[in-house]
Structure 1
């Protein structure tokens, strides 16, 4: 009977992940804009991450995207057709035979400076992943496939972590609830950074609850290699671990971060690379000019001032009530995953207080897995009280 019950749980988990993946895939098939004229293009901030990945592929790895398109100057076209003209770039995109080109790959968005943009505001790990995909096939749906995979895999990590602290039934419940997280589901269908951040943070939680200290350091280093905010769990780890284990985690995370950054640092030179990091940290603690709807970490708990990811159909990074419920319980419980959640969420308050008031609601994809693991423990404790 126990084996049959466990089998039903795992079948349920497979169904949950399949439903989530299909939902993310549906978003990944949206046409986007500012790509091919009259055709598919970029969704939201893909304009920065996909293009910087293509530039890194060309300039740092000396490889080209697999695409029939070339962004070049008109005099380089030998035999082919003009595909796209730009107003903010001194170039055109063509399809056919060329004698020279600036970039090979899917047509760029019409953004000033985009042909030499590397997105040094953030570490390079996800750009490497996107660059590898572009080397295979540089098209919108292909950019988004890794997000679908990482997002779906995050549900598995939530289940595995929650199962250890709350049991399989409530772990399945927590994973299923992530389907209703509008932010995490949407980000899993878009080639941006935050779903990767959520995955590696969930991986950190899994290793931590499994007692695998050095592996936790690896996960922390990978998260910090996606965005510098990936390091926010460090405050919780400092509280939870003794000096010796915390030192081991920090050393491992630092080693991973440096290893990921070696291709960039090696070509930029150590001095410029360090300056880029300093500049990025300054950028992250400074408000940007008015633009997309900004929000505070408090807004995220009440699903206010949500970032618009897509229009018609309207897709907002509006989150879920789970963030608030989990936060209240985490403040009460203060167990290990609760501390990691409080640390990660609290890191955004530090950024806000440091002076950056242009935060966006899609950042919640970072800590959504932790919130749902905390919810599993809440459900488990409530069930025990009811028996």
Structure 2
């Protein structure tokens, strides 16, 4: 290991310690009474996780916290979303019993891991040197300061799982560890459906690695579908087989995503469409003074730095920015299909990738500015020569 790496690893550890400490102070009910409630959509997912244990695995952990008050919640297993995030909650509910602390701990872990992967992703692209490590640390800091990720990693919703497995798949893909990247993509899909759209940028970068169509189809589509299916087996059994699961969960999920009903259309202060996220319009209120804010500066920096990837024609940078744009465009498609009840906290699905891209692209720009000036100079000289030759004729 290079000597200077240890300095940056220590800095990363310090960031993680501070982040985790602040997380506990904010989201652990022991330290913050405001957190001793169901926060936002926690009324659905932890209860569904508990019911999966109870009705599918026939395990009934001790309940230290009552069910939420939603209609039919005692039998609800959340069939309109994939199950993986709820399985992670179940692990800690089994260990600690049903309580806010138990169902939030896996989200806290995902939040910390996202910071680590963001560090590794930026360093991978810029290089394993002092500059690359510095880019990695700045990425870790930007992710740690991201307000959407901060809230979503602190509570028990599904988006933080998409956020983690998505950026993990991206990092592994850029590292050309195709099998692991493909598995991670499947895990992202098994967490929540916005990850389905990531097949497209995955296919693009895989095309940069291999021209073999069968390999590209296998790892961008086949393996992720297999992983998704394996994660869904318990839900399939609950619906009495594949056909029951298709109608009762998978197809129902697709229909649910493309229609209104996630919240009343009259609740305009809660609804935030994809273009609203750039201005932090109507950040979703989770209750108890928790808002899913989006940082407009980060969103606009992402918009303005995206051309850098195409200016340098760097397939890695193109993949990183398009990884996030693909998910954002997925939400635009959902809106076009008829779902006009979207929320600001969906940015957590791809927010860490945006943070990593902004830092990495700016470092890349500075690092390659001399080469760019040289290319532009050579192009100018070539044009002048052509112009001179044409004049002499």
TM-score range, shorter chain: 0.7 to 0.9
Question: Which string of whole-angstrom CA distances, capped at 9 and with x for unpartnered residues, describes residues 271-297 of structure 1?
Answer: 220012111111101112234601111
Contact 1:150–1:188 (CA under 8 A) maintained in structure 2: yes
What does 1:296-311 correspond to in 2, within 5 Å?
296-311=273-288
Query: Residues 1-387 of structure 1: matches in 2 within 5 Å?
Result: 3-30=2-29, 40-67=36-63, 106-137=65-96, 138-166=98-126, 167-242=132-207, 243-249=213-219, 250-269=221-240, 270-275=242-247, 276-288=249-261, 289-290=264-265, 291=267, 293-311=270-288, 314-320=289-295, 321-334=297-310, 335-384=318-367
Q: Following the alignment from structure 1 to structure 2, what is the Cα–Cα distance between the partners of residues 135 and 22?
A: 24
Contact 1:123 1:224 in 2 (8 A): yes
- Quick check: which one's strand share is greater? 1
Structure 1 unaligned blocks of 5 or more: 70-105
Q: CA deviation at 1:302?
A: 1.9
Q: Which has the larger radius of gyration?
A: 2
Of 53-62 and 341-350, deviating more is 341-350
Gaps of 5+ in 2: 127-131, 208-212, 311-317, 371-393
Q: In 2 relative to 1, CA 31–319 (structure 1 residues): closer, same or farther, beyond 3 Å?
A: farther
* TM score, norm. by length of structure 1: 0.83
CA shift at 1:3, angstroms? 4.2
The secondary structure found in structure 2 opposite 1:295 is: coil
TM normalised by structure 2 equals 0.82
Using the TM superposition, give the Cα deviation of residue 386 of structure 1 relative to its aligned residue in structure 2, in angstroms.
6.9
Question: Does the 8 A contact of 2:282 with 2:344 survive in 1?
Answer: yes
Which deviates more, 230-239 or 220-229? 230-239
Deviation at 1:230, TM superposition (A): 1.6
Give the alignment's Cα RMSD to 1 decimal.
2.3
1:255 deviates by 0.7
1:4 Cα shift?
4.4
Q: Distance in 1 between matches of 2:236 and 2:299?
A: 37
Taking structure 1 as reference, are residues 10 and 39 closer, same or farther at Cα in structure 2, changes over 3 Å only? closer
Compared CA separation, residues 328 and 277, structure 1 to 2 (3 A):
same
| Inter-partner Cα distance in structure 1 for 2:154 and 2:10 | 24
Larger relative helix fraction: 2
The one-character-per-residue Cα deviations of 1:43-75 (angstroms, maximum 9, x if unpaired) are: 1111100101111100000001133x6xxxxxx
The answer to whether the 8 Å contact 1:217/1:253 transfers is yes
| Separation of aligned partners in 2, 1:294 and 1:245 | 41
